[in-house]
Every structure is written in C-alpha cells, then in structure tokens.
C-alpha cells in the first residue's frame, strides 16, 4: 500500500513550487529524472550532461536504477513505497553521487523535476500488453506526486544486435527487425495510452546508425549499448529531443569516439528526432578512390584539349566532376611525389627527397592511418615506389620498385613475392576489382590504384601495338630549343635527340643495346610473337632510312609518342573498368574519385622526355576529380592546388582530424566554389642530382611569374613572365626592367621557404 501521509506531504511541497519550478527549469537548469534500468543508465548517465555543458546548458540528471526492471516492478515499488533503487544523480556542476535504497517518492521530492522518463524493460519493450496497467498507474501516481509540475518522457529503447543471445530475443523470433518494429508499434501505442509530452527515439537512432559504416556494432553484449559510440548516440538523441537542436559534437566528443563516428551519431539522432518511428539510412562516410598514374602528361589527355589523343574515361571523370588546370607537384620525381601524397608534406618534411638516396619512413603519420582510425578499410595496389613494407594499409599488393610491364612480380601483405602473367595495367585493375569485391561492405574504403603506366619505357599492351601508327604528331614549338640563357637546361641529359636510347626506349632491340630491365625477356612466347610482329618491321624500315641529325630526332619523337600514347590508352581503358565497377555496384554516388599523375612529363617540349624541372610540363600535373553532390559536373578549377592537398582533402571529407603539421590544404572549398582560391603561390623543391643531370633547384610560381634558383651543378637564377612567355624560353633574371619584380619574387620565395620550413633552401639564400 502507498504510504498516504508521505505521499500527501510530497504533493503539498511540490505544489508550492509548481510555477517557480517550471520557470526555473526552462530558464536556468533543466532537471530530468529517469525511472528505468540499465537501458536508462546507457542513455543518460554518460555523455548527456557533457553535451549539455558544451552547449552552455545546465542539467541535473537522475536515474532510478534497478537492473532489468520492467514497468510492472516500478509500479509495485511505487505502490509499496519501496526503497529499492540505486539513485544515481549528476548535479548541475557535473558531480556524480549515488544513494542506495531510495524510493521513487523520495526521488520525486529531491528536485523540481521538469521531466520524468519512463521505459519498458527490453524483453518486453515491443509487447504492448505489458504496458497497459503499470504505465497507466505510474503516470497517474507520478502526476499526482508532482502536482502536475513535471512533463512526461517516453524513452523508446533499441532492438538487440542481430547476433544477440539474450533470452528475451526469443520474444521477437531472434530477429532484429522484428524487435525494432514491435518497439515502434508499442511506443506509438504508449503515447495513446497516457499523455506523453516528449518521445526520446533512441531505438530509431540506434537503428539509423546501424545503416552507416559503424554497422551492427553498437552494443557491448548484444543488448546493452557500447560504452562509447553506442551511449554517445543515445546521448545525442536525448540532447536534441530535450533542447531542440542538434548535439554539439564539434565542441564535445568523447576521446574514444572518432570524429567520423561522432558525425554519424549526430546524424542518426537528428534523423530519429525528425522521424521517430522509421529508419533513415545514414549516408556513410564517402569511399575514396585515388588513381595515380606515373609520368602522365596533361598534354596527353583529351580533357585538356589535346584532340590528337583520346582518353574517354579520364575525360568522363572530368565531365562528371572537375578538371583542375592549376594542379602542381612539390617535387617532380616518382617516389617523393608519392610520399607527399601520403603525408601531405613537402619532401624535406616527410624525409623522402629523391629516388636515389632516400628511404621512406612508413611509421610516420599518413592520411591512410588516420582513415583507418575512423573506420576505413585502406588498400594500395600497384606501383608505390616507397620500399616494400607499406604501413597504414589493410591490404596491399605492390610492384617492387618500378615494376615490369609484362608478367610482373608483386609483393603482397605476407611479404611474399607473387609472379603474375599478363600486362601490368590489366593485372593491377584485376587486383583492385578483386579487393573491392572481397572487402567489408559495411565499412567505407580508401583504395589507391598505382599504375606503372606511363613510365619509361612506354611498353604498350599487345592489343594496343600500332594504335597510333598511322598518326604523325606535330613537333612542339620548343622542340629545337637551344637553351639560351638557361644554363641548367643546357646541361640536362634528357634529350630525345641525344639521350633517348634506340633499344631500351624505342624497342629497336636488334641494335645490340643492352636491355637494362630485360623487359622483353619477361614476355612469354605469345607476347613476344606479337611484340616482334609489330616492332621488327618498324626496325627494318628504320635501318633502310639511315637517318641522322634532325631527321633521326624527329623519327625518334614520332615513335616515342606512339608508344607513350598507346601505353596511356590501356591505362585509360582500365580506369573505365573501375568506374564501371563503381556504377554496377551502386558505389558511384558515395565515392570520391581522384585521378592524377605523380607529376607531369615532357612530350618533346624543349626537345625532352622525362620530368624533374620546375618548368610547366613537369611541374604541372593532370588532375580530375568526381564526387556527386559535392563537385558540380563539368567544373573547371583554375586556382592553384598542390599534391600536398590530397591528404587533407580526403581527411576533411571523411570527417577525420587533419594533423596540424600537414602542409597541404583541403580542396573542399574549391569543390563547392570553383571560383574560390586557397593559395596564391606554389613552392617547389627538386633535390635529385644524378640521372638526367638535372641540377637541384627550388622556386616559386604565382599566377604570372616564376622564379627558380638552381644549385650544385649550376648556381643560377631564372625568372619567367608566364603571361608573355608561357613556354619559358626567355630568362628575364638580371635583365633591364625586371629588378622590381625580381625583388618581389625573391621576397615571396623567402616567405614560402619560411612558411614550409625548408631550412636547406633558406641556407642557400643566405
């Protein structure tokens, strides 16, 4: 029986405070008392108070706890005024206290509660018949005890994990969806049974979150919420329901909850508050696909206006997304460019300055490691050129060093070498599709496909032999550059005329030149037959001509271009395969695709092949990107971006923290507003002092001018007006009339060196 004297005393006391309590609760401190069990413990005892504090809200939270208590037990305890509860309380200052052996009536009298929350025990949460008598009785009991001063909350609880072993799961045929639907129906009926002022849809919020990359991992034992992300989702749901605004996860996030998880929690809660009785699919973190080619010139891509070649699949990315016409690299050489992509840092900061002497520290902070920390699966397939023990990848299968075009070897995650028959571009694509098929489809992915193409020796797939045989390519305007006023350019050893090798580069094998990579010897009989069938007639024709001088240089240029572009064609075809895979498997809408080369490349400009120089053809890289809903189709982004920007962009889009020492910038503002600018200058530093005899140098580029300082082989400066001299033929450094702009550019160079903390360059300027 109810203790009538105590009950009436409590009613009198609470009546006196009715008006004042409500006003104070709304204007100052919100007071919420839950009468529940371990599920109310999951929901209100952790993180809710902290979220409120982060939003500048004051709360007092109480929880009347008995593990597993159903509504019927609460009513029984209320009737008998039983001191059966553990009364857990968080005061306005955030201090936690626990009192044992407390009755419901005592707790009701302890504060001027603005809200009283009720819930059903989880095994009975979807069985409305268990609600009828106890819920109706408890409502009237509490309403009388508080003299109508408190509002009522119904706490909608969650369905068990799909693999739960809880005995009560049998009530729902051990099926999560059946349980969820039953809870929704019972919750709606509860609102018809008694006047419920506020529904807290935790059950729907949890179910929403299960559709995200987090999946069905929100409980710690199949029914109680995970102590971190599970409870945080519940707290976000309570917060938004109580305060009418989304949880401030940007101001408060538990250490054990990643930023990406917190974003899902906020989104899942918000969707549940808006639609409390139906599941909203939470769009998972975007997938990321980076396709990285090797030495692919923007001049060899039809999307950049070069109509003599066709790259329909790269063009497709540009057409459905954006084409970058101001994309640059920090150091135009294979390994260092990849190190920059992974770290978001210049070579002097990531430690990998050149291919010849540098060793990459895979233990340093890489963007893929941070993606792993927010739930991503990561993989690198193909050429990486940073040693044989990658870190930060759940899976890798990489070419050793430069790799081989035909029948290549791969180094796999187990450290073992794998020999695969076929053409390298196709094999890399096969491996990528296999990994995509076998990955965990409940998690987002970041896949880097590293193509060997179009690296020297430009060896096409057999199906592409002769693709451009009938085409003659116009010589670049600068093909016969004499390098006047440019000492470093004059000393290089990357001339098509004098340095391109007949056997190694142009496959004229019978001349007797040593085949350094034994590329042809790797071919099987069928491949070699097709190779000989194509190249032997060309060689026979070449011998009959007895070419020399300019005629020989131009013959070499034509065959270089045909092999180079045929190699690029097979890569573009493979890119199309991957894009088709995304389409077929419903991944296109939620996948950021970025295609870029590790740097640009010379296709006869200045008479050269290769890269390295800070001149536009190698300094500038092709880049196209697509992300439906983020990048407007057909966009052109003309402002400067750098390959340091890839890492922070991906982290930004994934909702992961961007390290303070990353030197790149997120491109998301450019994705959303292509007319925006994120920098007005680009800094460059090339270090390698070996192959091709290119002198190390550093410099800065603005929209109009470029200043370069060469050192070691050559101690010289170069200044170019790119508006008047886009081919960079006229070195203005030291010429009359350019003193002011030289001074201005040197000042800017000094500022860039300081900004990026390049101490080696700083010492050279002293």
Q: In whole angstroms, what is the distance from residue 36 CA to residue 63 CA?
A: 7
Q: In whole angstroms, what is the distance from residue 191 CA to residue 206 CA?
A: 21
Mean pLDDT of 751-766: 96
Contact call for residues 353 and 377 (beta carbons, < 8 A): no
Q: 90: which strand partners? A: 61, 96
DSSP state of 466: T
Mean pLDDT of 747-762: 98
DSSP state of 470: T
Beta strands in 75-176 (DSSP E): 85-90, 96-102, 115-118, 151-156
Residue 455 has pLDDT above 80, yes or no: yes
**3-class DSSP assignment, residue 605:** helix
Torsion-angle region of residue 466: left (phi > 0), alpha (psi -120 to 50) or beta? left
Structure tokens at 385: 């050129």
**3-class DSSP assignment, residue 483:** coil
What order of strands is seen across the sheet that includes strand 198-201?
96-102, 85-90, 58-65, 29-36, 115-118, 151-156, 198-201
Mean pLDDT of 710-717: 97
Of 129-133, 354-358, 372-376, 689-693, the range with the highest mean pLDDT is 129-133
Q: In whole angstroms, what is the distance from residue 91 CA to residue 423 CA?
A: 68
Structure tokens at 497: 């005329």
Domain spans in the chain, listed from the N-terminal domain onward: 4-274, 287-458+560-674
Residue 311 has pLDDT above 60, yes or no: yes
**3-class DSSP assignment, residue 1:** coil
Assigned CATH topology for domain 4-274: Rossmann fold (3.40.50)
Peptide bond into 454 cis (omega under 30): yes
Average pLDDT, the chain: 93
Give per-residue pLDDT as tens, 55-85: 999 999 999 999 999 999 999 999 999 999 9
Contact call for residues 151 and 115 (beta carbons, < 8 A): yes
Residue 396 has phi, psi (to 5 degrees) of: -150, 150
CB atoms within 10 A of CB 352: 29
Beta strands in 147-225 (DSSP E): 151-156, 198-201
Q: How far is CA 199 from CA 143, 152, 154, 244, 703, in A?
A: 17, 9, 5, 12, 58
pLDDT-derived band of residue 7, with 50, 70 and 90 as boundaries? very low
What's the confidence (pLDDT) of residue 18? 34
**3-class DSSP assignment, residue 602:** coil
Q: In whole angstroms, what is the distance from residue 307 CA to residue 310 CA?
A: 7
Give per-residue pLDDT as tens, 503-553: 999 998 655 555 545 778 899 999 999 999 999 999 999 999 999 999 999
Q: In whole angstroms, what is the distance from residue 348 CA to residue 635 CA?
A: 33
**3-class DSSP assignment, residue 716:** strand
In angstroms, what is the C-alpha Rg of the chain?
34
Q: Percent of the chain beyond pLDDT 70?
A: 95
23 burial (CB, 10 Å; 0-12 / 13-18 / 19+) is exposed
Contact call for residues 283 and 289 (beta carbons, < 8 A): no
Mean pLDDT of 146-151: 96
What's the confidence (pLDDT) of residue 705? 99
pLDDT-derived band of residue 629, with 50, 70 and 90 as boundaries? confident
Residue 761 has pLDDT above 60, yes or no: yes
**3-class DSSP assignment, residue 701:** strand
Q: In whole angstroms, what is the distance from residue 652 CA to residue 288 CA?
A: 12
Q: 705: which strand partners? A: 721
Q: In whole angstroms, what is the distance from residue 385 CA to residue 91 CA?
A: 58
638 burial (CB, 10 Å; 0-12 / 13-18 / 19+) is middle
Beta strands in 198-250 (DSSP E): 198-201
Residue 647 has pLDDT above 90, yes or no: yes
Contact call for residues 564 and 300 (beta carbons, < 8 A): yes
What's the confidence (pLDDT) of residue 19? 33
Mean pLDDT of 312-325: 98
What's the confidence (pLDDT) of residue 26? 43
Q: How far is CA 80 from CA 88, 666, 683, in A?
A: 21, 63, 78
Q: In whole angstroms, what is the distance from residue 748 CA to residue 753 CA?
A: 9
Buried b (16+ CB within 10 A) or exposed e, 510-544: eeeeeeebebbebbeeebeeebeebbeebbeebee
What's the confidence (pLDDT) of residue 596? 98
- CA-wise closest residue to 460 among 470, 449, 472, 469: 469
What's the confidence (pLDDT) of residue 587? 84
- CA-wise closest residue to 575 among 690, 696, 450, 672: 450
Residue 15 has pLDDT above 50, yes or no: no
Residue 229 has phi, psi (to 5 degrees) of: -65, -35
Residue 111 has pLDDT above 70, yes or no: yes
What's the confidence (pLDDT) of residue 281? 83
Give per-residue pLDDT as tens, 187-205: 999 999 999 999 999 999 9
Structure tokens at 457: 């020796």
Mean pLDDT of 38-48: 98
Q: Percent of the chain beyond pLDDT 90?
A: 84
Residue 435 has phi, psi (to 5 degrees) of: -65, -45
Mean pLDDT of 116-131: 98
**3-class DSSP assignment, residue 151:** strand
- CA-wise closest residue to 402 among 296, 254, 273, 517: 517
Residue 6 has pLDDT above 70, yes or no: no
What's the confidence (pLDDT) of residue 9? 39
**3-class DSSP assignment, residue 280:** coil
Mean pLDDT of 329-335: 97
DSSP string, 360-420: --TTS--HHHHHHHTT-EEEEEEE--S-S---S-SEEEEESTT--SBS-EEEETTS-EEE-
What's the confidence (pLDDT) of residue 21? 36
What's the confidence (pLDDT) of residue 10? 40
What's the confidence (pLDDT) of residue 677? 86
Give per-residue pLDDT as tens, 247-266: 987 789 998 887 668 878 99
Residues 6+ apart with CB under 8 A from 671: 322, 625, 627, 630, 631
95 burial (CB, 10 Å; 0-12 / 13-18 / 19+) is exposed
Contact call for residues 457 and 390 (beta carbons, < 8 A): no
Q: pTM of the prediction? A: 0.70
Assigned CATH topology for domain 287-458+560-674: Alkaline Phosphatase, subunit A (3.40.720)
Q: Which residue has the higher pLDDT, 356 or 516?
A: 356
Q: In whole angstroms, what is the distance from residue 293 CA to residue 658 CA?
A: 25
Q: Which residue has the higher pLDDT, 306 or 528?
A: 528
As a residue count, the chain comes to 766
């Amino acid at each position: 029986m109810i203790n009538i004297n105590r009950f009436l005393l409590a009613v009198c006391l609470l009546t006196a405070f009715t008006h004042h309590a409500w006003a104070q609760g709304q204007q100052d401190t919100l007071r919420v008392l839950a009468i529940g069990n371990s599920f109310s413990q999951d929901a209100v005892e952790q993180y809710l108070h902290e979220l409120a504090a982060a939003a500048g809200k004051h709360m007092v939270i109480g929880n009347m706890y008995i593990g597993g208590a159903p509504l019927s037990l609460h009513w029984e305890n209320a009737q008998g005024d039983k001191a059966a509860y553990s009364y857990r309380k968080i005061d306005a200052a955030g201090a936690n206290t626990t009192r044992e052996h407390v009755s419901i009536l005592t707790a009701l009298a302890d504060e001027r509660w603005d809200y009283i929350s009720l819930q059903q025990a989880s095994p009975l949460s979807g069985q409305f018949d268990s609600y009828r008598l106890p819920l109706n009785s408890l409502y009237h009991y509490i309403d009388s005890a508080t003299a109508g001063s408190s509002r009522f909350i119904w706490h909608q609880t969650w369905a068990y994990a799909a693999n739960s072993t809880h005995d009560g799961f049998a009530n729902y045929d051990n099926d999560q969806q059946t349980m969820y639907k039953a809870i929704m129906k019972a919750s709606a009926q509860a609102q018809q049974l008694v006047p419920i002022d506020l529904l807290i849809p935790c059950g729907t919020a949890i179910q929403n979150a299960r559709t995200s990359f987090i999946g069905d991992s929100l409980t710690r034992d199949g029914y109680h919420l995970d102590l971190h992300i599970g409870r945080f989702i519940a707290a976000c749901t309570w917060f938004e329901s109580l305060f009418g605004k989304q949880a401030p996860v940007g101001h408060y996030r538990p250490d054990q909850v990643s930023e990406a998880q917190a974003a899902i929690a906020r989104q899942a809660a918000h969707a549940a508050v808006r639609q409390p009785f139906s599941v909203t699919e939470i769009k998972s973190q975007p997938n990321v696909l980076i396709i990285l080619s090797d030495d692919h010139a923007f001049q060899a891509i039809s999307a950049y206006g070069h109509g003599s070649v066709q790259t329909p699949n790269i063009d497709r990315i540009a057409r459905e997304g954006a084409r970058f016409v101001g994309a640059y690299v920090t150091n135009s050489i294979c390994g260092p460019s990849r190190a920059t992509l992974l770290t978001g840092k210049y070579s002097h900061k990531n430690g990998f300055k050149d291919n010849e002497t540098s060793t990459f520290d895979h233990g340093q902070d890489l963007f893929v490691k941070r993606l792993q920390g927010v739930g991503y699966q990561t993989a690198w397939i193909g050429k990486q050129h940073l040693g044989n023990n990658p870190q930060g990848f759940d899976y890798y299968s990489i070419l050793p060093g430069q790799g081989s075009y035909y029948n290549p070897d791969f180094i796999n995650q187990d450290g073992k070498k794998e020999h695969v028959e076929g053409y390298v571009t196709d094999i890399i694509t096969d491996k990528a599709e296999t990994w995509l098929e076998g990955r965990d489809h409940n998690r987002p992915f970041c896949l880097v496909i590293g193509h060997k193409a179009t690296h020297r020796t430009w060896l096409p797939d057999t199906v592409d032999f002769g693709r451009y045989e009938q085409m003659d390519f116009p010589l670049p305007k600068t093909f016969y550059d004499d390098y006047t006023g440019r000492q470093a350019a004059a000393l290089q050893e990357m001339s098509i005329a004098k340095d391109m090798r007949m056997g190694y580069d142009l496959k004229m094998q019978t001349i007797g030149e040593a085949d350094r990579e034994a590329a042809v010897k790797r071919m099987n009989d069928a491949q070699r037959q097709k190779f000989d069938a194509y190249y032997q007639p060309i060689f026979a024709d070449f011998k009959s001509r007895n070419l020399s001088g300019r005629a020989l240089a131009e013959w070499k240029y034509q065959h270089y271009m045909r092999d180079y572009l045929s190699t690029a064609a097979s890569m573009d075809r493979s890119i199309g395969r991957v894009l088709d895979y995304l389409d077929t498997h419903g991944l296109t809408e939620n996948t950021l695709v970025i295609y870029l080369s590790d740097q640009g490349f010379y296709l006869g400009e200045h008479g050269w092949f290769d890269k390295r120089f800070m001149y536009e053809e190698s300094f500038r890289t092709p880049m196209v990107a697509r992300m439906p809903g983020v990048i407007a189709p057909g966009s052109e982004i003309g402002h400067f971006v750098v390959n340091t920007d890839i890492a922070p962009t991906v982290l930004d889009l994934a909702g992961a923290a961007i390290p303070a020492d990353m030197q790149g910038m997120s491109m998301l503002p450019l994705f959303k507003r292509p007319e925006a600018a994120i920098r007005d200058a680009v800094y460059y530093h090339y270090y390698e002092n070996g192959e091709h005899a290119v002198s190390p140098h550093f410099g800065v580029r603005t929209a109009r001018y470029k200043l370069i300082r060469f050192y070691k082989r050559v101690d010289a400066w170069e200044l170019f007006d790119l508006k008047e001299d886009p081919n960079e033929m006229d070195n203005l450094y030291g010429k009359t009339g350019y003193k002011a702009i030289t001074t201005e550019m040197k000042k800017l160079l000094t500022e860039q060196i300081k900004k990026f903390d390049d101490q080696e360059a700083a010492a050279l300027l002293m």
